[in-house]
Amino acid sequence: MVHVPMTVSSCTKLILYLTATYPNTTTFLNIIETVSHIVDMFEIGVPTTNPKYDGPTIRMTHRTAEVKGLNALDILRGNMSRDFIIMAYMEDHVDKLDIFLRKCAEIGAKGVLMPDLLFDYYDMVDKFVNECRRFGLEPCFFISSKFPYREVERLVTYRPLFIYLGLQACSGVRLPIFIERNVKIYKSIIGDRCPLVVGFAIKSPDDVRLLKKIGVDGVVIGSAFIKEIARCGVECGLKLLESLKRALVE
């Protein structure tokens, strides 16, 4: 396993989001193997019937993934050569959080991100963090572009692996939002105390250059990659990632 430390640094990390077993088990593993030398970390989504805060492309991957639910994560065991975190909706696991987190730990995940935690299960933040730590996992937090400042301050005190800022209203859909301003606001609150990762509708080298310039610690690519492999296969997806990586290291 190659570990690229997720830290606050001048080196912006490239993170690839994939929904486990999309479009099928074989292709999913092929993608992982093909792009592992490019990406610094994977974010793997647990296929769910209700990807409520995702946009149309990621929703489609949840609905068409070959294996549904936690069983889809079995494929990761022994097949990951890079650090990875698990993304899942708390709504699906709220009654059996320990089972979910144990599974994440067993397959070697580094951390866990639950995008609805801070919106729909706000009272469970302490429990989530404590349970993550109990299973040797690092908590990650998802925040929106209009998140209360004091609450961001509070999240930093949990010493998460990173805070993930959604740049857009949902994944993969680009609205005319002044993302540079929003990133700077939350970067100024977080400072160097915790890595700030951003995602949603990032699709070009120009996008990642801008985000690198304003000091984000990681960029997540999801919908753009899915669209690219749907258009012309895994090799096209690889080329996209290579172009983004070049923009990050140049």
Catalytic residue numbers read 43, 54
x/- binding map, residues 7-46, to another protein, per CB under 8 A?
A: ----------------------------------------
105's tokens: 């730990």
Residue 149 interacting with another protein (CB under 8 A): yes
CB 167 → another protein: shortest distance, Å?
9
Stretch that binds another protein, among 9-17, 64-72, 174-182, 202-210 (CB under 8 A): 174-182
**Closer to another protein at the Cβ: 28 or 186?**
186
Residue 230 interacting with another protein (CB under 8 A): no
Our measurement of the distance from residue 240's CA atom to the centroid of its chain's CA atoms, rounded to an integer in Å, reads 18
**Closer to another protein at the Cβ: 21 or 182?**
182
- Nearest residue to 136 (alpha-carbon basis) of 164, 102, 160: 102
Q: Which of 47, 139, 160, 166 binds another protein (CB under 8 A)?
A: 166
Q: Which of 6, 170, 238, 247 binds another protein (CB under 8 A)?
A: 170
* DSSP structure string for 22-72: -S-HHHHHHHHHHHTTT-SEEEEEPP-S--TT--HHHHHHHHH-SS-GGGG
d(CA 154, CA 232): 44
Label residue 87 exposed, middle or buried (CB < 10 Å: 0-12, 13-18, 19+): buried
CB 160 → another protein: shortest distance, Å?
16
**Closer to another protein at the Cβ: 5 or 149?**
149
Stretch that binds another protein, among 9-17, 175-183, 205-213, 224-232 (CB under 8 A): 175-183
CB 1 → another protein: shortest distance, Å?
33
Is there a contact between 13 and 247 (Cβ–Cβ < 8 Å)? no
d(CA 154, CA 157): 5
Stretch that binds another protein, among 15-23, 27-35, 71-79, 117-125 (CB under 8 A): 117-125
d(CA 44, CA 110): 11
Return the bridge partners of 17, or none: 43
Q: Which of 10, 95, 122, 126 binds another protein (CB under 8 A)?
A: 122
Return the bridge partners of 218, or none: 13, 197
Is there a contact between 204 and 245 (Cβ–Cβ < 8 Å)? no
Is there a contact between 164 and 220 (Cβ–Cβ < 8 Å)? yes
Residue 144 interacting with another protein (CB under 8 A): yes
Can you give the binding site for another protein, defined by CB under 8 A?
50, 52-53, 55-56, 59, 118-120, 122, 143-151, 166, 168-170, 173, 175-178, 181-182, 185-186
